[in-house]
Chains A and B, each alone.
Chain A
Amino acid sequence: MSFQEFVFYFLSAVLIVSAVGIITMRNPVHAVLCMVLCFFTTAGLWLLLEAEFLAIALVLVYVGAVMVLFLFVVMMLDINMARLREGFWSHLPLGTLVALLLVAEMVLVLGGRYAGFYDTPAPPPLPADYSNTKELGRLVYTEYVYPFEIAAVILLVAIVAAIALTLRRRKQSKYIDPARQIGVRRQDRVRIVQMPAEKKE
């Protein structure tokens, strides 16, 4: 077994174990952490395929951002195991049916002759100065420039919308304007009244 094969089988084993962990873990926080491990090992497998840009992007986007928000939300959940397990048996038949259908479909597509995993030869190793990132950039900005730009603009609109939604001023908050505080003069606030002292008769 070569070193690459060893790495492949090791990463695959970790990937499968962590993927099973996602759905079997009782505690949602543990499940999310399993998912993080899952993404990490997938990134490792992609590195083996010499797709270093995609691998790092996977870690950056999913591990670094998406899963943090997942964990953030899941951590704050009040977990009641008894309630979660309620209705397990009544939903089991439907769930089993859907699962079996999914497995059958995957076997049909991946195991058949159409996918052709067994006939495709392994891709030739790329030269050392080949830059995956550069190639990807060239394709995205030439051949696929319109889909890419449209997707980018949609995402930008989403960011702007999300920030704009939180940009509201609460009416009941008693905000003090420092400029007005500093600009106060004595004449505006205090009126000095001359009063003759009253004498007790």
Chain B
Amino acid sequence: MEFMRTLQTLFGPAWPVVWTLVKIAAIVAPLLLVVAYLPLWERKVIGWMQVRIGPNRVTFFGIPWLGGLAQPIVDALKLLVKEIIIPGGANKALFLLAPVMVVMPAMAAWAVVPFSPELVLADVDAGLLYIMAITSVGVYGIIIAGWASNSKYAFLGALRSAAQMVSYELAMGFALVTVLMAAQSLNVGEIVRVQQGSFGLFNWFWIPLFPIFLVYFISGVAETNRAPFDVAEGESEIVAGFHVEYSGMAFAVFFLAEYANMILISTLASVMFLGGWLSPVPAAFADAIGLPWLADGNFGWLLVKLFVVVSSFLWFRATFPRYRYDQIMRLGWKVFLPLTIAWIVVLGAWMQTPLWVWWK
């Protein structure tokens, strides 16, 4: 505390800005590390599911049992020193702006995500709305990337991706409407607190909102353009979609943004439907087995939920064949949208009856 006070006097009136920047760095730096290691985990998981070993060569200081762990660092170094080729006839400024616009919302949305009861960067009232607004900006980066590349494949990929993301954003938005109805708050921390109760994991919103949980999760997969909804990349049809002309670090930024978005969607699913930092163990049960600390909510539980949800993204990719484009559109508009609207009505009626037990 003495140290903090010295710093405060040192920076004077600029202190709030500096302190906020420090907090942002404290969120973004570990996030980027996780984003870097998620592709390795993905390659490992898919490898195991296909009875392969996955990356196991690159290691730190020649220690064999760390095999594969240095892979992300080596990959990043390789991409950093590669040349960024700007295609002829491309719109240079927009071409370079696009990767930034893709990765920006994926990072900015973390401002309102609560990590533990006290740990949140901005405890704003309209937090859920902010997340919806800021994540909807991400589609611009993809459209601009496809258009500015001056390439037919990139353009087709951008069109597919934009249409897909706009369609699934609707279903996601309506899913979030049911969550805020159930929680009676737009504050993300408050949404977690409402899910607290004496029954542990049976108090979370995945029970009353089960269809919506599924809709949100599947829409999240579609929204991040992940398999089985990855027609935006469509390797077999349009090479790599919107980022086919990108090389080196510019490509890596798109890659990172996809994984950052995956982690963000998984975190939001954990926070809104799986109780965020809350413990799944009921307090009475934890006392009975003599481990009362199991029932305490903390950051660790959020990490566990996040890990499970993110890993199921990878599981999907290894399991399902790619959807056809018209089937994707039909699923979004004719299945998910009516389902979410119907559930809003059902939930509204349910909340007026004594059968609703989720908040007091």
Q: Which A positions have Cβ atoms within 8 angstroms of B?
A: 29, 33, 36, 52-53, 56-57, 59-60, 63-65, 68-69, 71-72, 75-76, 131-134, 156, 159, 163, 166-167
Contact = CB atoms under 8 A, between A and B. Distances in A.
Q: What secondary structure prevails in chain A residues at the interface with B?
A: helix
A60 B133 contact: yes
B169 A71 contact: no
A56 B134 CA distance: 9
A170 B317 CA distance: 32
B162 interface: yes
A133 B169 contact: no
A163 B333 contact: yes
A175 to B, nearest CB: 12
A75 B125 contact: no
A65 B166 contact: yes
A31 to B, nearest CB: 13
A47 to B, nearest CB: 10
Contacts of B155: 75
Interface stretch (B27-35, B136-144, B305-313): B136-144
A56 B125 CA distance: 12
- Interface size band for B: 20 to 34
B195 to A, nearest CB: 20
Nearest to B135: A64
B337 interface: yes
B337 A72 contact: no
Contacts of A36: 140
Given A75-B143, A167-B334, A60 B126 contact: no
A52 B341 CA distance: 26
B143 A59 contact: no
Contact of B133 (A64, A71, A132, A156): A64
Nearest to A133: B126
A156 B337 CA distance: 11
B159 interface: yes
B284 to A, nearest CB: 35
A52 B137 contact: no
Nearest to A159: B337
B186 A72 contact: no
B136 A72 contact: no
Contacts of B132: 56, 60, 64
10 contacts: A33-B94, A52-B125, A56-B129, A56-B132, A56-B133, A63-B137, A71-B143, A72-B163, A75-B143, A134-B125
Contacts of A132: 125-126
B147 A56 contact: no
A64 B147 contact: no
Contacts of B186: 133
B40 to A, nearest CB: 32
B19 to A, nearest CB: 15
Interface in B313-351: 333-334, 337, 341
Contacts of A133: 125-126, 129, 186
